[in-house]
Structure formats: C-alpha cells, structure tokens
Amino acid sequence: MHYLLFYEAGEDYASRRAAFREEHLRLAWESSVRNELILGGALASPVDGAVLLFKGDSPEVAERFAMADPYVRNGVVKRWYVREWMTVAGEAAATPLRPKAAAE
C-alpha cells in the first residue's frame, strides 16, 4: 500500500528548517534505500508544508519516519498526519486497475 505523510509548517518554517535539514535528509535517504520512502519534498509557492509518499504494509512506516524526523521533534512542523492512498494507475500503483479494453 501507499501512504502519504502530510506536514503542516510551523512559524518561520523556511528559515527554521535549515538547522535540521541535514539530519532530515539523512533520514529521508535512508528510508528511500530501504524502499519505504518513494518521494518526498516541500510544497512550493507558498512553502507551507511537505508531502512524503511511503510504501509499506501499514501506515506505521510513515508514522515512524515522522516521529524520528527532527522537523517534527523540534516544532518546525506544527502538525502531521498520514493518509492511505489507493493508487490504481501507473507503473508503481499498489493496486493497479486497468480499463477493460486494455485487458482484452
């Protein structure tokens, strides 16, 4: 399954995250090497949060990441939550559904 981790930025997010960015990126790339984190990045225009896409058997993989993330631990992120994402189209879809015409 796929899970989206949403971050809502705290006050002065763009400037405050700099102090924790290296550790945050290290955690993200380690998670990617384990094939848990698929994509992640900050939302732009305005920079007011971030979205990270995880793959796993449960939302725990995304929750563990958030609880270890220095952005969360140090209040740079004021709120986070995880949503299951039912991916059905594309090469990486967790539950691919093709149109009937394509199956015939």
Tell me the per-residue pLDDT of 2-43, one tens digit each, with 9 for 90 and over. Answer: 999 999 998 899 899 999 999 999 999 999 999 999 999 999
Look at the block and give the residue holding tokens 């299951």.
84
Architecture of domain 2-103: 2-Layer Sandwich (3.30)
Q: Round to whole Å and give the CA distance between 44 and 4.
A: 17
Q: Round to whole Å and give the CA distance between 14 and 12.
A: 6
Average pLDDT over residues 69-94: 96
Pairing of strands 77-85, 37-42: unpaired
Q: Which two tokens stand for residue 81?
A: 């939550």
Mapping DSSP to helix (H, G, I), strand (E, B) and coil, where does residue 91 land?
Answer: coil
Mean pLDDT score of the chain, rounded to an integer? 94
